[in-house]
């Protein structure tokens, strides 16, 4: 992984103004993503985990141009996407696609599945209209919906099948990167496995790069190569999955990992029990955002935000315990 | 047995036809025990718990069986008698705490409601009891939080309030329908610990409805696996996770990514849960099963004893289910 990153996120910020004064000055601001930098390499699957309100989905939405960042840059193939004109950006957007969480809300109920998958191809004028039909059949075939499914409407499908349609739609434009925003959390366990296997097959087959956003840590661990752990708009720890699960060093990662229920009743592990709730992202704690719930917090934690530092090779952590 | 369910059948009469949501289910719940019912969507696990509480409404109907609580059949009880038991001796918590709390009422009034109905306490004592249960579920500064509205609380707090409400009248059975599904993992861990501690402290039995086998492994004593309205396997938790018997249970366990091992591919159960109107004639799992034999397609196997466990599969015996569904 010594090559140039395919996608580079630099000091990315997204602030939402929650309340404005009478004259339009922002009074309270929600810092959904607060100064995050990431490198994503070609062919890898980068997992982003975090609890609700951590800003993981907001990053995904900025990469796919649904939100425009407040500050910072997203560099894809050496070009800064945030500084592009609209037309120019559209060309690049083709190469970065998104799979949504809720397969019930993300498919238009008035369109047949064939139309849903053909739509991005038509809009981007990727193929002459005579060839669209065969492309749609091919894509449906890929996701395991061969046969006469293309004339059916979304409501005729089960959750797992809808998610397959969503995947086919994302693949329609031959993307390089797919942002998967909680693609399996709405599905049953037996269906989850099918969709995860499908995604890992496509990664090899089409040479895709994934940004996999989820809160289910076991799922993320299965599919990802490297993982970033987020908490209240900040990245707490980034490393490859093996190191993260074997030797997590940030207290939050440790607590998060220990609170996953394990399907083995004989394994009575010591659970690190976090006190309290996740603070509101509108008014996060001063200093390290995690300091109010941290079981290793000391005095300095609430004063200064720790920077994300490399403590060993390819293992980054933002915690004052490991500051040099 | 504190609660005994015998041959329970619940059906929904819809325009498209009859859906047999729960098909002849029997189980018992002992005092102080945590029994988990596990299944995917459409397996009938929630309908089972609602039937126990007598909360099935049109177009659904309990068409057979009995629910015996302390020697009394709840299905034959009058509305009055049921109301006395519900919320007092058997209480229930639901998945989404926001939709089950009243948004325009203070926590205080909602808590006091069930205490007023079931316990003969003076206003002052009722309030003290309400604060006491909030303390029990570990809500910080309960005396001030009791005057909050639900929207002022976080998801985890709301679920604690729900639990407090359910516990306010010393119930003997708590039915928890997916109590942690809507919560984050660190909060889920808190709530599960709380339920586990409360069971020890108060000695109540818990019927835990969930789809998460990890949650079951960490909290429950006994487990029932349901598929398409039938029990397919019943065992002690330690036995089930060590030696799962039914192909569906095995498949479910295999298809969950494990934290402590690395695999290239996940095991997949092929196909999808069948449509409730077209469940296979024989064993409901036959169309997805790897070990499907000819007889599986035509006959329904009985729930038979196999070692310490009960399993409904022809791989472990030839007994047929009686035809009374």
Q: What is the pLDDT of residues A172-217, one digit of tens each?
A: 999 999 999 999 888 888 889 999 999 999 999 999 999 999 988 8
Same domain, A118 and A83: yes
B160 Cα to chain A: minimum distance (Å): 12
Task: Give CA separation, B170 vs A259, B55, B253, in Å.
Answer: 29, 21, 36
As a whole number of angstroms, the distance between CA B110 and CA B3 comes to 28
Please report residues of A whose CB lies closer than 8 A to that of B140.
276
Asked, for residue A164, whether it belongs to a domain, the answer is: yes
- What is the predicted pLDDT for the residue at B324? 57
For residue A120, what pLDDT band results from cuts at 50, 70 and 90? very high
- What is the predicted pLDDT for the residue at B323? 66
- What is the predicted pLDDT for the residue at A52? 84
Q: Does A184 touch chain B (CB under 8 A)?
A: no
∠ CA A103-A105-A107, nearest 5°, is 70
The pLDDT of B124-138, averaged and rounded, is 92
- What is the predicted pLDDT for the residue at B325? 55
As a whole number of angstroms, the distance between CA A42 and CA B87 comes to 57
- What is the predicted pLDDT for the residue at A2? 56
pLDDT at position A268 over 80: no
The pLDDT of A249-268, averaged and rounded, is 86
A181 Cα to chain B: minimum distance (Å): 16
B16 Cα to chain A: minimum distance (Å): 15
Same domain, A205 and A58: yes
Give percent of chain A above pLDDT 90: 55
Asked, for residue A14, whether it belongs to a domain, the answer is: no
Which of A224, A252, A282 is at the close of a domain?
A224
B64 Cα to chain A: minimum distance (Å): 29
- When the pLDDT of each residue in chain A is averaged and rounded to a whole number, the result is 90
Instruction: Count how many Cα atoms sit within 13 Å of the Cα of residue B245 in the half-sphere of its side chain.
Output: 28
Same domain, A96 and A220: yes
pLDDT at position A156 over 80: yes
Q: Do A265 and B267 touch (CB under 8 A)?
A: no
For residue A299, what pLDDT band results from cuts at 50, 70 and 90? confident
pLDDT at position A62 over 90: yes
Report the domain count for chain A.
2
pLDDT at position A1 over 80: no
pLDDT at position A114 over 60: yes
For residue A272, what pLDDT band results from cuts at 50, 70 and 90? confident
Residues of B with CB under 8 A from a CB of A: 40-41, 140, 154, 156-157, 184-190, 192-193, 211-215, 217-218, 237-238, 241-242, 251-253, 255-260, 262-263, 265-270, 272-273
Asked, for residue A16, whether it belongs to a domain, the answer is: no
pLDDT at position A103 over 70: yes
Q: Do A274 and B252 touch (CB under 8 A)?
A: no
Give percent of chain A above pLDDT 70: 98
Among the residue ranges A290-294, B179-183, B283-287, the one predicted with the least confidence is B179-183
As a whole number of angstroms, the distance between CA B195 and CA A108 comes to 41
For residue B124, what pLDDT band results from cuts at 50, 70 and 90? very high
Q: Do A263 and B184 touch (CB under 8 A)?
A: no
Closest residue by Cα to residue A179 from A89, A38, A46: A46
Asked, for residue A300, whether it belongs to a domain, the answer is: yes
B272 Cα to chain A: minimum distance (Å): 7
B186 Cα to chain A: minimum distance (Å): 6
Among A183, A193, A205, A278, the residue to mutate for chain B (most B Cβ within 10 A): A193
Chain A from 204 to 223: CB within 8 A of any B CB: 215, 217-219, 221-222
Q: Do B256 and A218 touch (CB under 8 A)?
A: yes
pLDDT tens-digit map of A313-322: 999 999 988 8
Q: Do A264 and B241 touch (CB under 8 A)?
A: yes
pLDDT at position A324 over 70: no
CATH number, residue A62: 3.40.50.300
Could you give the 3-state DSSP secondary structure of residue A56? helix
Q: Do B218 and A262 touch (CB under 8 A)?
A: yes
pLDDT tens-digit map of B203-213: 899 999 999 99
Q: Are B100 and B176 in contact (CB under 8 A)?
A: no
Among B235, B264, B268, the residue to mutate for chain A (most A Cβ within 10 A): B268
Same domain, A193 and A51: yes
Same domain, A63 and A202: yes
Q: Are A40 and A176 in contact (CB under 8 A)?
A: no
Q: Does A86 touch chain B (CB under 8 A)?
A: no
Asked, for residue A210, whether it belongs to a domain, the answer is: yes
pTM (predicted TM-score):
0.88
- Find all residues with CB under 8 Å of A216, minimum gap 6, and list them: A184, A185
Which of A224, A254, A287 is at the close of a domain?
A224
- What is the predicted pLDDT for the residue at A51? 86
Asked, for residue A259, whether it belongs to a domain, the answer is: yes
Q: Does A236 touch chain B (CB under 8 A)?
A: no
As a whole number of angstroms, the distance between CA A61 and CA A68 comes to 8
Among the residue ranges A29-33, A158-162, A274-278, B213-217, the one predicted with the least confidence is A274-278
Same domain, A148 and A287: no
Asked, for residue A21, whether it belongs to a domain, the answer is: no
Please report residues of B whose CB lies closer than 8 A to that of A263.
213-214, 217, 241, 253, 256, 258
- What is the predicted pLDDT for the residue at A89? 85
pLDDT tens-digit map of B161-179: 999 999 888 899 999 999 9
B87 Cα to chain A: minimum distance (Å): 28
Which of A205, A224, A243 is at the close of a domain?
A224
Same domain, A208 and A251: no
pLDDT tens-digit map of B69-102: 998 999 999 989 998 898 889 999 988 777 889 9
Asked, for residue A156, whether it belongs to a domain, the answer is: yes
A274 Cα to chain B: minimum distance (Å): 7
Same domain, A204 and A270: no
Could you give the 3-state DSSP secondary structure of residue A85? coil
Same domain, A50 and A138: yes
Please report residues of B whose CB lies closer than 8 A to that of A51.
184-187
Among the residue ranges A134-138, A211-215, A234-238, B262-266, the one predicted with the least confidence is B262-266
The pLDDT of A43-53, averaged and rounded, is 91
The pLDDT of B239-249, averaged and rounded, is 94
As a whole number of angstroms, the distance between CA B231 and CA B23 comes to 9
The pLDDT of B279-292, averaged and rounded, is 92
ipTM over 0.90? The verdict is no
pLDDT at position A144 over 70: yes
Among A205, A216, A263, the residue to mutate for chain B (most B Cβ within 10 A): A263
Same domain, A58 and A143: yes
For residue B320, what pLDDT band results from cuts at 50, 70 and 90? confident
Q: Are A258 and A274 in contact (CB under 8 A)?
A: no
Q: Do A190 and B255 touch (CB under 8 A)?
A: yes
Same domain, A102 and A210: yes
- Find all residues with CB under 8 Å of B171, minimum gap 6, and list them: B87, B88, B89, B90, B91, B204
- What is the predicted pLDDT for the residue at B99? 83
Give the structural domain span for A112: 42-69+77-224
- When the pLDDT of each residue in chain B is averaged and rounded to a whole number, the result is 90
Count how many pairs of residues, chain A against chain B, have C-beta atoms within 8 Å.
Answer: 119
Please report residues of A whose CB lies closer than 8 A to that of B256.
189, 193, 218, 263
Same domain, A200 and A81: yes
- What is the predicted pLDDT for the residue at A230? 94
């Amino acid at each position: 992984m010594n090559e140039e990153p395919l996608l580079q996120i630099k000091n990315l910020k997204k602030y939402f103004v929650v309340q404005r004064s009478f004259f339009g000055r922002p009074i309270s601001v929600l810092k959904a993503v607060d100064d995050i930098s990431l490198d994503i390499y070609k062919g890898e699957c980068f997992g982003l985990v975090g609890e609700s309100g951590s800003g993981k989905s907001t990053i995904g939405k900025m990469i796919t141009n649904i939100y425009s960042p407040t500050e910072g840059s997203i560099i894809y193939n050496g070009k800064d996407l945030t500084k592009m004109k609209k037309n120019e950006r559209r060309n690049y957007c083709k190469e970065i696609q998104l799979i949504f969480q809720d397969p019930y809300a993300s498919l238009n109920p008035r369109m047949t599945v064939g139309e849903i998958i053909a739509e991005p191809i038509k809009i981007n004028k990727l193929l002459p209209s005579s060839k669209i039909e065969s492309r749609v059949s091919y894509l449906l075939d890929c996701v395991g919906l061969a046969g006469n499914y293309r004339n059916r409407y979304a409501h005729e499908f089960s959750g797992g099948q809808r998610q397959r349609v969503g995947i086919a739609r994302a693949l329609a434009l031959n993307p390089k990167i797919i942002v998967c925003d909680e693609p399996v959390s709405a599905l049953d366990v037996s269906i989850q496995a099918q969709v995860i296997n499908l995604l890992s097959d496509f990664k090899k087959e089409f040479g895709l790069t994934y940004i996999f956003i989820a809160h289910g840590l076991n799922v993320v661990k299965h599919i990802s190569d490297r993982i970033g752990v987020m908490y209240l708009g900040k990245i707490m720890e980034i490393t490859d999955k093996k190191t993260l699960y074997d030797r997590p060093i940030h207290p939050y990662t440790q607590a998060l990992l220990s609170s996953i229920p394990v399907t083995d009743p004989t394994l009575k592990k010591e659970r690190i029990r976090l006190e309290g709730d996740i603070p509101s992202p509108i008014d996060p704690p001063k200093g390290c955002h995690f300091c109010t719930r941290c079981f290793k917090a000391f005095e300095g934690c609430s004063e200064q935000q720790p920077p994300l530092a490399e403590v060993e090779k390819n293992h980054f952590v933002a915690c004052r315990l490991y500051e040099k | 047995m504190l609660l005994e369910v015998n041959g329970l059948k619940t059906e929904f009469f819809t325009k498209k036809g009859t859906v047999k949501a729960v098909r002849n289910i029997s189980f018992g719940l002992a005092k102080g025990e945590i029994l988990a019912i596990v299944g995917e969507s459409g397996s009938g696990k929630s309908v089972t718990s609602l039937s126990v509480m007598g909360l099935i409404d049109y177009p659904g109907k309990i068409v057979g069986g009995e629910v015996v609580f302390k020697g009394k059949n709840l299905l034959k009880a009058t509305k009055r008698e049921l109301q006395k038991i519900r919320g007092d001796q058997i209480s229930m918590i639901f998945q989404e705490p926001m939709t089950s709390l009243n948004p325009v009422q203070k926590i205080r009034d909602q808590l006091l409601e069930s205490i007023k109905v079931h316990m003969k306490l003076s206003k002052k004592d009722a309030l003290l009891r309400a604060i006491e249960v909030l303390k029990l579920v570990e809500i910080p500064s309960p005396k001030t939080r009791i005057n909050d509205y639900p929207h002022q609380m976080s998801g985890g707090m709301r679920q604690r309030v729900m639990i407090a409400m359910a516990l306010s009248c010393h119930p003997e059975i708590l039915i928890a329908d997916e109590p942690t599904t809507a919560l984050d993992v660190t909060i889920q861990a808190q709530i599960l610990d709380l339920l586990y501690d409360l069971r020890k402290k108060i000695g109540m039995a818990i019927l835990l409805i969930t789809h998460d086998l990890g949650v079951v492994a960490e909290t429950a004593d006994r487990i029932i696996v349901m598929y398409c309205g039938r029990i397919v396997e019943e065992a002690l938790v330690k036995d089930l996770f060590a030696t799962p018997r039914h192909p569906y249970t095995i498949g479910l366990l295999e298809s969950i990514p494990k934290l402590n091992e690395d695999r290239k591919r996940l095991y997949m159960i092929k196909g999808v849960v069948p449509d409730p109107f077209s469940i296979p004639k024989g064993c409901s799992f036959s169309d997805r099963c790897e070990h499907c034999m000819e007889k599986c397609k035509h006959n329904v196997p009985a729930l038979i004893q196999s070692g310490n466990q009960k399993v409904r599969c022809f791989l472990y015996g030839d007994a047929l289910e009686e035809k009374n569904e």
